[in-house]
Amino acid sequence: MAQIKLLQARLDDAEQLTGIMKVTFNEEALRWLGTVDSPIVDYNIQPPGYDSVYSTSYMIEELTYYKIMLEDQLVGGVILTMTGKRFGRIDRIFIHPAYQGQGLGSEVIRLVEKAYPSVTTWDLETSPRQKGNLHFYEKMGFERTFETEDEVGYIKRNSNGMAASEHTFESVHLEDATFYQANLANSAFNNSTLAGTHFSNINLRESKFQNINFRETLFADLNLSGSRVKHVDMSGVEFRDTSIEGAPVSFERCELMGTNFTRCKMGDVEINACDISGMKIDGVSVEELLEVYRMVKK
């Protein structure tokens, strides 16, 4: 087999990686769903943002993203989320259809494990529709942890002869626990249930929240200055009594259809190159206002 290697992806790889990912996952959709535009929503076959160069750029910046090189040819990518030193997650692995069936996927898994020898637990999810994936991961030593109509979870444990750290807690049950004046700096939480958890008077500076279910969560009395919100579904979210003083907020490539702004201070707000179909201010169509404005300007 030709030599393959993993190289850290860079932002200038985003467009090429997106193109390969789009071809790969569209091919999977054709094979397992019958069409690229199937009414069946399967985020393992067509992951959110898989055809967006902006989503790829985000993952290159914020996750552990490697490009798969076959000799000098870029043929795919593998995206990881690392939690501490012992836990890793394979978020996505994709290889261009023209290079599949050559054992590249197996070698990529081996290279990932070799690159992180301290990781003793790897996990991932895939679609039950992708029968080839199920066979592949099980051949690579992954074991099923759960299975639903839409998803199959896998885990692989590698002892690597390493003892667990005294500060590593796995499969522990701490329901209703209380931590007061606890120092958890640089701690990592993965594959854990924190439903109903209450955080109060906590320093979360420079923390990262990724792949989190925040449904019906309350965010109040927070300092989010300088924070970044990327690739977030905010359907039904409300902002009330919120201050944006000191520095302007930027919305770029956001879908804000049906959003309501009521009794808000919007002085010096600029809207550029946006789809404003149906947008109204105090019940008046913005499109009609602009049309009248352009007529007067003529």
Tens digits of residue pLDDT in 20-75 = 999 999 999 999 999 999 999 899 999 989 999 999 999 999 899 999 999 999 99
The rounded distance, in Å, linking the Cα atoms of 187 and 31 is: 41
> Who wins on pLDDT, 70 or 83?
70
Rg (CA), the chain: 23
- Predicted confidence at residue 166, as pLDDT, reads 56
Which of the 8 DSSP states describes residue 164? Answer: P
- The torsion defined by the Cα of 22, 26, 32 and 37, in degrees rounded to 10, comes to 130
Give the tens place of pLDDT for each residue, 125-147.
999 999 999 999 999 999 999 99
Give the tens place of pLDDT for each residue, 215-239.
888 887 787 888 888 888 888 888 8
Q: How far is CA 242 from the centre of its chain?
A: 27
CB 145 within 8 A of CB 155: yes
Tokens, residue 190? 């993965």
First-last CA distance in the chain: 68
- Predicted confidence at residue 107, as pLDDT, reads 96
CB 91 within 8 A of CB 80: yes
Phi, psi at residue 297, to the nearest 5°? -65, -30
Q: Which residues contact 252 (CB under 8 A, 6 or more apart)?
A: none
Give the pTM.
0.77
CB 88 within 8 A of CB 81: yes
Give the tens place of pLDDT for each residue, 179-207.
877 888 888 787 788 888 887 778 888 88
pLDDT at 160 over 90: no
Q: Which residues contact 92 (CB under 8 A, 6 or more apart)?
A: 21, 47, 77, 78, 79
Q: Are strands 64-70 and 284-285 parallel, antiparallel or unpaired?
A: unpaired
Give me the domains of the chain, ranges plus CATH numbers.
4-157 (3.40.630.30)
CB 121 within 8 A of CB 128: no
| CA proximity to 271, closest of 289, 296, 250 | 250
